[in-house]
Amino acid sequence: MTDLASLSSIFMTSMGFGLAVAAPVGPMSILCIRRNLTIGWQQGVATGFGIAAGDGLYAAVAALGLTGISTFMLAYDRPLHLAAGLFLLYLGLKTFWRKNVDSAVAPVQASTLRAFWGSLLLTLTNPPTIIMFAAIFAALAPKSGFDPASAITTVAGVTLGSLVWWCFIVGGTSIFRHALGQRVRLWIDRIAGSFLMLFGVAEVRRSL
């Protein structure tokens, strides 16, 4: 049984890894920031929670040694990249051609639940993440290996670390939201849509 001091150390280290995994700029970062700036903080938070949940699920697969699930996901790596690419292309086109919406009405009209599930599913279309988490957990694992308590603590730390990062992103960008006019929001949509489409093309190429 892992003692409390060891669990605390594992938790804090796992949080650091969770932050490190979430921090690199990519399609999910652009999606989260764009939704936060042009639609509202509810959409930004829902997107961040979905990404953190996806990271947590992959962390659980790696930490708990669920080889059947990881093998299945990795076996269908290319179709999942294709699905991710097509979804990003769809989001990019939808974002690029989005019409101006009154900022006071947009958060009510948009579904935060849909934003959560969409970002969760998009995060899960990157099966190699399991390999990355497996490597991380190999470095974190005690000499005696993971027991249930340390495995759960590790997963919780990674998930919370990822969540802290996305809350930081939403909080930081929200400061500028009310200073943005409709024209600036429109340009944010155009730029974010273009980047999402580029990421989508890259994902489709990875599937070939």
Which one is predicted more confidently, 85 or 75? 85
What's the pLDDT tens digit per position in 106-158?
444 458 888 899 899 888 887 767 777 777 777 666 555 567 787 788 889 88
Average pLDDT over residues 99-103: 54
Task: Identify the pLDDT of residue 88.
Answer: 86
Task: Identify the pLDDT of residue 48.
Answer: 92
Q: pTM here? A: 0.78
Give the model's confidence band at 53: pLDDT under 50 very low, under 70 low, under 90 confident, else very high: very high
- Per the CB < 8 A criterion, the answer to whether 134 and 62 are in contact is yes
Could you give the residue ranges of the DSSP H alpha helices within 97-181? 106-109, 112-123, 128-140, 148-177
Task: Identify the pLDDT of residue 69.
Answer: 66
Closest CA to 59 of 146, 119, 166: 146
Number of independent structural domains in the chain: 1
Task: Identify the pLDDT of residue 4.
Answer: 77
Lowest-confidence segment of 53-67, 80-94, 142-156 by average pLDDT: 142-156
The 3 state secondary structure assigned to 147-166 is CHHHHHHHHHHHHHHHHHHH
What's the pLDDT tens digit per position in 18-42?
888 888 778 888 989 888 888 888 8
Domain around 195: 4-206
Average pLDDT over residues 75-81: 78
